[in-house]
């Protein structure tokens, strides 16, 4: 057996999407209170790749990514997914919008070689973490670029997302280098 080592810290990211910019801002503030300051924040992206979410979230969805300044242990991902699921229910319970799911939150992390997302749904390519939460490698970083996998969601294939994820990866790389973790 090889020697067991603790994992390298990773960069926590949160994708927030809604048709309501105020819902995304609510999520931003909630996340900052829970996890600390932001290292990076994407522009608002139009979410146009699928109509899958329209029955519960409505049309004209927007998506924004937040990357948090403090690196984290990747083993926290299941707890974070459960936390953000609670936030979705909390926001829906405020009754500010007619949709049953006015806010969708997808946490994940960026490591130097991959972008990982958490999910409550099991599929062949997902690994069980704990407490009903799974993880998938959504993108790989190889040869200086993000590469989609057969199961990568259509929006995560977008070059504008990749540019933001590259900024996140560069931030992570600097943090690890400064902490002598590389």
Dist CA 12 CA 115 (whole Å): 10
As a whole number, mean pLDDT of residues 125-136 equals 97
pLDDT at 130 over 90: yes
As a whole number, mean pLDDT of residues 130-158 equals 97
As a whole number, mean pLDDT of residues 98-116 equals 98
Confidence class of residue 177 from pLDDT cuts 50, 70 and 90? very high
SS3 121: coil
Q: Where are the domains of the chain?
A: 11-178
pLDDT at 181 over 80: no
**pLDDT tens digit string along 46-77?**
999 999 999 999 999 999 999 999 999 999 99
Residue among 151, 134, 49, 141 nearest 17 (CA)? 49
Number of H helices, E strands in the chain: 4, 9
Do 71 and 11 contact (CB within 8 A), yes or no? yes
Q: What is the pTM of this model?
A: 0.96
């Amino acid at each position: 057996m090889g020697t067991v080592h603790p994992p390298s810290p990773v960069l926590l990211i949160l994708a927030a999407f809604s048709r309501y910019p105020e819902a995304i801002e609510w999520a931003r503030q909630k996340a900052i209170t829970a996890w600390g300051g932001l290292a990076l924040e994407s522009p608002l992206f139009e979410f146009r790749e699928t109509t899958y979410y329209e029955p519960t979230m409505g049309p004209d969805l927007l998506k924004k990514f937040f990357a948090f300044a403090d690196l984290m242990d990747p083993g926290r991902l299941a707890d974070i997914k459960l936390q953000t699921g609670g936030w979705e229910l909390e926001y829906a319970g405020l009754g500010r919008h007619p949709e049953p799911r006015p806010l969708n939150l997808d946490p994940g992390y960026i490591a130097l070689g991959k972008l990982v997302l958490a999910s409550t749904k099991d599929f062949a390519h997902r690994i069980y973490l704990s407490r009903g939460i799974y993880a998938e490698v959504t993108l790989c970083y190889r040869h200086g670029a993000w590469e989609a996998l057969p199961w990568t969601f259509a929006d995560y294939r977008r070059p504008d997302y990749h540019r933001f994820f590259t900024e996140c990866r560069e931030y992570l790389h600097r943090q690890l280098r400064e902490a002598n973790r590389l």
